[in-house]
Amino acid sequence: MEVTRRDALAALATLGVGSAVAGEVREPDGDLQDVIPTVAAVASVVYPSAVDVTDEYVRNYVAGRTQLQDNYERRVVDLCSVLDANARDRYGSAFRSLPIRRRETVLRRMGVGRAKSAPDGTFEQQFRYYVVNDLLYALYATPVGGRLLGVENPPGHPGGTEAYQRGAER
């Protein structure tokens, strides 16, 4: 199941990015544009295998997310550069260029999976907060992610008249 630009906009709308509803998220530029494939590569590791991650989805979500938090862009760029440096040291290639198993290994060895999420903590804690948890929120705050969990209309997503008329599936 592919996540699309529309899913990114739905997740942003639940965060309160009003322009996302109108589809007016600005394109990322400079350094942020350069790390979009790295963030997409992280998503391909942390998302369930049933989800096909596209750069367009990640680009729209990350670009919209920068509208909510002033330091978000700089943090994501800095964290992804450390991740890439670690991948290059271990495997001689950028994180995004590695096969998925090696990406998993890089994240695991860096302790990202065990780290407690904290915006001002260690690298691992910040990576968990700004990249991993944000990507997971972006997925599960949308109808596509909700369906994976068995929740067709996640909180913040209206779902339309068809959803409430049908009732709960048992």
Q: pLDDT for 75-125, tens place per residue?
A: 999 999 999 999 999 999 999 999 999 999 999 999 998 999 999 999 999
Query: Which distant-in-sequence residues (6+ apart) come within 8 Å of 164 by Cβ?
Result: none
- Alpha-carbon distance of 131 to 135, in angstroms, equals 6
Q: 65 pLDDT exceeds 80?
A: yes
Q: Which residues of 21-38 are buried (b: 16+ CB within 10 A; e: fewer)?
A: eeeebeebeeebeebbbb
Domain membership of residue 169 (yes or no) is: no
pTM: 0.81
Q: CB count, 10 Å around CB of 14?
A: 16
> What pLDDT is attached to residue 148?
77
- Alpha-carbon distance of 98 to 26, in angstroms, equals 29
Kindly report the average pLDDT of the chain as a whole number: 83
In total, how many domains does the chain have? 1
Domain membership of residue 163 (yes or no) is: no
**What band does 1 get if pLDDT is binned at 50, 70 and 90?**
confident
**What band does 10 get if pLDDT is binned at 50, 70 and 90?**
confident
CB 94 within 8 A of CB 42: no
Query: When comparing pLDDT for 136 and 18, which is higher?
Result: 136
Residue range(s) defining the domain that contains residue 75: 5-158
> What pLDDT is attached to residue 166?
55
What residues form DSSP beta bridges with 52? 2
Domain membership of residue 69 (yes or no) is: yes
Query: When comparing pLDDT for 25 and 80, which is higher?
Result: 80
**What band does 131 get if pLDDT is binned at 50, 70 and 90?**
very high
- Alpha-carbon distance of 47 to 42, in angstroms, equals 8
Task: Report the Cα 19 to chain-centroid distance in Å.
Answer: 19
Domain membership of residue 166 (yes or no) is: no
Share of the chain above pLDDT 70, in %: 80
Which residue type occupies 15?
A: L
> What pLDDT is attached to residue 152?
63
